[in-house]
Amino acid sequence: MRSDMLKEGPSRAPHRSLLKALSITDSEMQRPFIGVVNSYSEYIPGHMHLREIGEAVKAGIRNAGGVPFEFQTIGVCDGLAMNHPGMKYSLPSRELIADSIEVMLTAHPMDAVVFIPNCDKIVPGMLLAACRLNIPAIFISGGPMMSGKCDSSKYGLSEMFEAVGSFSAGKIDAQKLLELETKACPTCGSCSGMYTANSMNCLTEAIGMSLPGTATCLAVSAKRRRLAKMAGERVLELLKEDIKPLDIITPRSLENALRSEMALGCSTNTVLHLTAIAYEAGCPINMEIIDDISKTTPQICKLNPAGQTFIEDLEEMGGIEAVLKELSKADLINTDCLTVSGTVAERIADAPDADGAVIRKLDNPHRKDGGIAVLRGNIAVDGAVVKQGAVAPEMMQHRGPAKCFDCEEDASEAILGGKIEAGDVVVIRYEGPKGGPGMREMLNPTASLVGMGLDKSVALITDGRFSGATRGAAIGHVSPEAAAGGLIGLIQDGDMINVDITNRTLTLEVDDAEIEKRRAAWVAPQKKLKGYLARYYQHVSSGSQGAVFLKDEDF
């Protein structure tokens, strides 16, 4: 066993003495040592209950004859980090999480590991670590919160950001805003819609790294605690069977994840994260592959913010396994893929059939193609992404004059100040992986546009990214980014931009001679960076590459 590096033989007597200081007994020394990596904190609603989930996991490990050792990772709540400098640290935290887990589980060898994430960058950060370490592993997330309810309607965090725009436009008063904020997030858990956290938990289950039901059952449910115990027990079986993450995370299972992503209408952030996970797993995927899968996968779910159904509704109708089952009817799922609990075929055999409403049948999809589209054109030579399943039909094609901003704050001020008009294309640049640095999410400006009633007449493009809570004609991940000399940095106010989501193009209507003139005069803005962001800036790759730290052989 891997933990024998700590505890076997006379030369490890000093190590055993330290373990005995932890109250480990001689009999426990003979058992498997299982790491429990928990992102619990008191500052994040999606994580505040993870100590309890951790205790259930450790109970399961002990039930199966293992010895659990728990430690914590950092975690950033994108909702709390939104619209201030803290968001610069959200995406960069993914790499720190992966690195810190690598450090802990290499310095203190474990035989297997249970990962307990829940929100935004924590799920992919832990998946990166699982690929890198490649020891038997299983995931049990903290689960989604219940939706909020007001005036007999369900709503979530996205509507809260939109309410700020409505308040600024005089559509609601301060009392209504207070009522909405009080009811929007009624329980612990990841935010209730198909935002990034729930998207990544769904894709983790689709890949096969968590037990069936893990992605969708509510954070407050007894089922969540039972699944946590079962995950603790199951990891010992994975150890006995010698099943490791890279036996599960393969090109074929990543295809399953991409198919699920398109069928569910997931957050555009999943493109970044799946690209990064595939890179770490040694089976890279690119924007062409993602676009090809999008074009051939129907969107059969439309969850908040794109629709009025929530993760709790998806759970009631069978969750991810029911989605996979419906997709498999058109041979869109590789059912022979291995998971942490049998093959995909075995997992979906007893799943309910699609109900036709929350999970539509293949013959009546919301869209014939996927919820996410990859756009290309002179503005985005290396690609850009849009959550097309959450775009109003009238905005699938839009041509309008640019209004340019070099940071999110300036754009938000202009939107809330009434300086954006119907027909405009808002351009926010120098917010990419290097330009930010950190590739901030743009939920505040997009939600403000919705709240002010401009989402059906204004498009927004950025080299930054969007929250999974974003809806509207919001095109992100524009690559190359402005800080790397991308064309988005050369756009001027009044330039005509053609956004054609239907035909997947993004075009600046300025002639080549003028572009070259601007390029000759362009100077990259210099930012005074320090600490982790300075190091991140030096190493991070393009958004089209997943904003990863490239390996030496790939420079």
Calpha distance 448→467 (Å, rounded): 13
Tokens read off for 306: 């794109």
How far apart CA 288 and CA 275 sit, in angstroms, is: 12
Q: How far apart are CA 138 and CA 232, in angstroms?
A: 8
Query: How far is 399 from 513, CA to CA, in rounded Å?
Result: 22
3-state secondary structure 122-149: HHHHHHHHHHHHCCCEEECCCCECCCEE
- Residues 6 or more apart from 305 whose CB is under 8 A from it? 156, 158, 159, 193, 194, 195, 390, 468, 469, 470, 471
CA atoms within 13 A on the CB side of 546: 23
The span from the CA of 92 to the CA of 25, in Å, is 40
Helix H or strand E encompassing 461: strand 459-462
Residue 146, both tokens: 């219940």
CB burial class (10 A; 0-12, 13-18, 19+) of residue 512? exposed
What string of DSSP letters covers 499-529? Answer: EETTTTEEEE---HHHHHHHHHH--PPP---
Report d(CA 270, CA 207) in Å as an integer. 13
Question: Taking Cα atoms as reference points, which of 479, 378, 389 lies closest to residue 434?
Answer: 479
3-state DSSP helix/strand/coil % of the chain, to nearest 5: 45, 15, 40
Q: Identify whether 10 is preceded by a cis peptide bond (ω within 30 of 0).
A: no
Q: How far apart are CA 160 and CA 171, in angstroms?
A: 14
199 tagged catalytic: no
* Amino acid in the structure at residue 112: A
Q: Residue 499 has which token pair?
A: 């956004």
Q: Are 337 and 250 in contact (CB under 8 A)?
A: yes
Handedness of CA 94, 5, 239, 285 (dihedral sign): positive
Q: What is the largest CA-CA distance in the chain?
A: 77
Q: What is the DSSP letter of 354?
A: P
Distance between CA atoms of residues 270 and 123, nearest Å? 11
Of the candidates 467, 479, 542, 544, the residue annotated as catalytic is 467
CB neighbours of residue 394 within 10 Å = 10
Give the count of beta carbons closer than 10 Å to the beta carbon of residue 474: 30
**Helix 122-133 vs helix 90-107: crossing angle, to nearest 10:** 40
Active-site positions read 467
